[in-house]
């Protein structure tokens, strides 16, 4: 004779157990964990408050010194943003030469970092085995942990001689924006690869299986299903990479040089002084407090802060606006 199981009674007992909570012995464990949750919640709140206060403090300090610069120098905001010559001592306050060099080095950095970063992310997310992925990710993390000043000397002593050997000694200056941009791309490669991999791995496996079920190959699935579904995360990684490149200091300060600040050029083989490189060079000299040169650093720094802040805000907006939601 078979054994009859009272499914209704068993289900009722299970529901009662779920409603009554864990057994008395386990409740003490949950009670001990609750203070930990409260501590973590308080720490998270403190981090948020600290971030807000720090941002406000930076804006106030930079804004106060920038106002002193405009007040003492007599420069207008329009002249500052559209001028093509930067020589505060001579009364020239054009910001465009610094911005031009910054954009050139950032462009060449993204030429290196974007295809390599997304390619590495696609490989680790879709093709690599667990063992290969576990070996490849630490290599990228090593790149992210190298001091940027080391990258700067690498660009000056290795990348520049390499470029001069390829294109000719007369075609590439010793200090040039191309070498700085290429090495800067290697530096931001781990950031783009990590963010892109997270975006790709967040795509549900059901979409891949549906693509395979329709007869698509692995490459077609990646190119036509996975990448479009993760596009918002990839764009956000691209923008964060640009913000990282714009704010980089030591690589451009060591390898890019200090080109003429009265000429706009799109030639990356010549020297060019970026925003951060100019700040590093000027702040290391003997400047008297509250002088025009001294206050000009804060005006440039405020504009750089606004640029990077806007880039990060745009990346967060893109993620929220174009994120694909799946059930």
Residue 22: pLDDT above 90?
no
| Strand (E) or helix (H) holding 144 | helix 130-145
CA distance 105 to 182: 8
CA distance 33 to 160: 56
DSSP codes, 246-295: HT--HHHHHHT----TT-----TTS----HHHHHHHHHTS---TT-HHHH
pTM: 0.81
Tell which CATH architecture fits domain 77-322.
Answer: Orthogonal Bundle (1.10)
Domain extent listing, the chain: 7-73, 77-322
- The per-residue pLDDT for range 31-84, each reduced to its tens digit, is 555 666 777 888 888 888 998 898 888 888 888 888 888 888 878 888 888 888
- The per-residue pLDDT for range 199-236, each reduced to its tens digit, is 898 888 888 989 999 888 889 999 999 999 888 889 88
Average pLDDT for 114-135: 89
Residue 8: pLDDT above 50?
no
- On the 0-12 / 13-18 / 19+ scale of CB atoms within 10 A, 172 is buried
- What mean pLDDT is reported for the chain? 82
More confident residue, 179 or 132: 179
Residue 133: pLDDT above 90?
no
Residue 265: pLDDT above 70?
yes
> Phi and psi (nearest 5°) for 86?
-115, 100
Collect all residues with Cβ–Cβ distance below 8 Å to 164 and sequence separation of at least 6: 171, 172, 174
pLDDT at residue 81, rounded to an integer: 85
């Amino acid at each position: 004779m078979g054994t009859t199981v009272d499914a209704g009674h068993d289900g009722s007992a299970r529901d009662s157990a779920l409603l009554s909570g864990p057994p008395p012995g386990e409740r003490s464990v949950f009670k001990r964990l609750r203070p930990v949750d409260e501590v973590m919640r308080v720490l998270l709140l403190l981090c948020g408050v600290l971030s807000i206060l720090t941002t406000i403090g930076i804006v106030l300090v930079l804004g106060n010194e920038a106002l002193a610069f405009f007040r003492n120098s007599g420069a207008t905001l329009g002249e500052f943003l559209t001028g093509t010559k930067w020589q505060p001592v001579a009364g020239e306050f054009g910001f465009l030469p610094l911005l031009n060099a910054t954009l050139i080095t950032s462009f060449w950095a993204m030429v290196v970092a974007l295809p390599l970063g997304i390619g590495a992310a696609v490989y680790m997310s879709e093709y690599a085995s667990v063992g290969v992925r576990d070996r490849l990710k630490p290599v990228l993390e090593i790149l992210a942990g190298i001091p940027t000043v080391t990258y700067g000397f690498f660009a000056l002593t290795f990348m520049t001689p390499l470029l001069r050997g390829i294109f000719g000694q007369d075609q590439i200056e010793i200090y040039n924006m191309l070498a700085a941009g290429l090495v800067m791309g290697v530096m931001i490669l781990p950031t783009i690869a990590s963010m892109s991999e997270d975006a790709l791995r967040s795509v549900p496996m059901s979409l891949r299986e549906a693509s395979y079920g329709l007869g698509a190959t692995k490459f077609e699935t990646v190119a036509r299903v996975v990448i479009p579904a993760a596009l918002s995360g990839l764009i956000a990684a691209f923008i964060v990479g640009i913000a990282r490149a714009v704010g980089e200091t030591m690589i451009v300060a060591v390898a890019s040089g200090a080109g003429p600040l009265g000429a706009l050029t799109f030639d990356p083989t010549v020297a060019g002084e970026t925003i951060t490189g100019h700040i590093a060079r000027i702040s290391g000299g003997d400047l008297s407090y509250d002088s025009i040169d001294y206050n000009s650093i804060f005006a440039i720094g405020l504009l750089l802060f606004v640029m990077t802040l806007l880039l990060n805000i745009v990346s967060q907006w893109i993620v929220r606006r174009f994120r694909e939601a799946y059930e």
